[in-house]
Amino acid sequence: MNEILRKERYSDAVFMMAIHTPLVARKARAGQFVIIRANEEGERIPLTIADFDREKGELIIVVQEIGKSTKLLGTTEAGQSILDITGPLGVPTHVGKVGTVCCVGGGVGIAAVHPVARAFKQAGSHVISIIGARNKSLLFWEDEVRAASDELLVTTDDGSYAAKGFVTDRLKELIDGGREIHEVFAVGPTVMMRAVAETTRPHGIKTMVSLNPIMVDGTGMCGGCRVLVGGKARFACVHGPDFDAHEVDFGNLLSRQRQYLDQEKSALETGQRV
């Protein structure tokens, strides 16, 4: 159980794992996440489900090495096993036949937006996906997202591949060009999701974002993943992770995400757990 079947590295800090976990794969739906613990000393790491195969019992995750525990996970290889995988957790993304949906993924968020785009397309919506990264070396899953969409736009911040600019530039071009967009779903860095929200706000386009705050237990008990939405406290693990982007207090979210930066740095330097 929880055996790593395949592992592929996309960049120095980003890799994919296909894990054999039939019970989780059987129940997984777009927008949900799992919490992984690599070993007895590892932290509990929340990761959005990037893909799943119910028949094979496979769960696919894409990980960005940031702190001590994700770097530890990065040292594991195919044939080894993950100690704990809890999930699927969170409320699945609400999908349906809603006309034209624009799915926006930035950085590692490309993996998270993939199953959502596919689910909307399967439900009968017309899906325009926009994916982007800082440069070509950090871009991945272009073919996978294209297959899950009706249209695909690709961008890099530095112009090293495809169009130069941010994902919000492509989104704004669509809106200003008169494309009728009924809903936007975005996942990626918090500053990117905030920019998407501000791009769609003047036009009144329904916009959902998948939030990634600090999380511990994933069941709503610890309160670590508290976010402010519409002026009210919500727990991303049980009320989300999807929320109305126009209601999210992104300033509060960014502040909470920076709360333990010193401890995370110390853990990397000393080898101690946070």
| Mode of pairing for the β-strands spanning 58-64 and 51-53 | antiparallel
Q: What are the residue ranges spanned by the domains of the chain?
A: 3-89, 100-257
In angstroms, the Cα distances linking 3 to 31, 59, 76, 163, 199 are 23, 10, 11, 39, 42
Contact (CB, 8 A) for 150 and 158 = no
Tell me the C-alpha distance between 73 and 15, whole Å. 10
| DSSP run (H or E) holding 264 | helix 261-270
In angstroms, the Cα distances linking 193 to 24, 51, 124, 222, 272 are 28, 21, 25, 25, 32
Q: What's the CATH code, domain 100-257?
A: 3.40.50.80
Question: What is the pLDDT, as a whole number, of residue 223?
Answer: 87
Residue 224 — very low, low, confident or very high, per pLDDT cuts 50/70/90?
Answer: confident
- Give pLDDT tens digits for 146-169: 999 999 999 999 999 999 999 999
Residue 1 — very low, low, confident or very high, per pLDDT cuts 50/70/90?
Answer: confident
Which of 55, 17, 11, 15 is closest to 34 using CA atoms? 17
Contact (CB, 8 A) for 171 and 185 = no
CATH 3.40.50.2300 is held by the domain 3-89: no
Residue 274 — very low, low, confident or very high, per pLDDT cuts 50/70/90?
Answer: very low
